[in-house]
Amino acid sequence: MIDALHIRPPVQGDFDRWLPLWQGYNEFYGRSGTTALPSDVTSATWVRFFDPDQPVHALVAESGDELVGLVHYLYHRSTTSIADVCYLQDLFTAESARGRGIASTLIARVAEEARLAGAARVYWQTHETNHTARRLYDAIAERSGFLVYRMTL
């Protein structure tokens, strides 16, 4: 039997259950071993979720007493909209819980939070090889056609 899914903001006591999801997300994108995020980045990320002066937000998906998914998002200004836009930065579902609609539920909840915050749109990116996620994204959103470039400083 599958327990009901509950989407909610994390609480301080969730850190030890959130951390394996965060590490799984980073491992999925090749950030592990010698390329792992420094622990101070993880700590700062967690602290930002609880700082009302930060534009960074989080939600977790809980099933029973287990966290099975996470999503992190932030609001920022845009030159193409008066209203802020919402960037869905991180989305991850525990491997054991995949195929249950958790990712689409988390995205829908971020979209609702963004609507309530007055944001003009929600956008996100994924790696071109993430075919499973791209099937979901293609079904629920419009692909912008933009490529992402970055310059490490």
Please list the pLDDT of the chain residue by residue as tens digits (153 residues): 457 999 999 999 999 999 999 999 999 998 887 788 899 999 999 999 999 999 999 999 999 999 999 999 999 999 999 999 999 999 999 999 999 999 999 999 999 999 999 999 999 999 999 999 999 999 999 999 988 898 989
- What is the longest distance spanned by two Cα atoms in the chain? 49
Q: What is the C-alpha to C-alpha distance for residues 103 and 107, in angstroms, rounded to an integer?
A: 6
Q: pTM to 2 decimals?
A: 0.93
Give domain status of residue 23, yes or no.
yes
Q: Quick one: tokens of 114? A: 């963004």
Give domain status of residue 111, yes or no.
yes
Question: Which segments within the chain are labelled E, that is strand?
Answer: 5-8, 56-63, 66-78, 81-93, 122-123
Number of domains in the chain: 1
In this structure, what CATH number is given to the domain that contains residue 51? Answer: 3.40.630.30
Domain of 134, in residue numbers: 5-140
Q: Using DSSP bridges, classify how beta strands 56-63 and 66-78 pair: parallel, antiparallel or unpaired.
A: antiparallel
Q: Using DSSP bridges, classify how beta strands 122-123 and 81-93 pair: parallel, antiparallel or unpaired.
A: parallel
Give domain status of residue 151, yes or no.
no
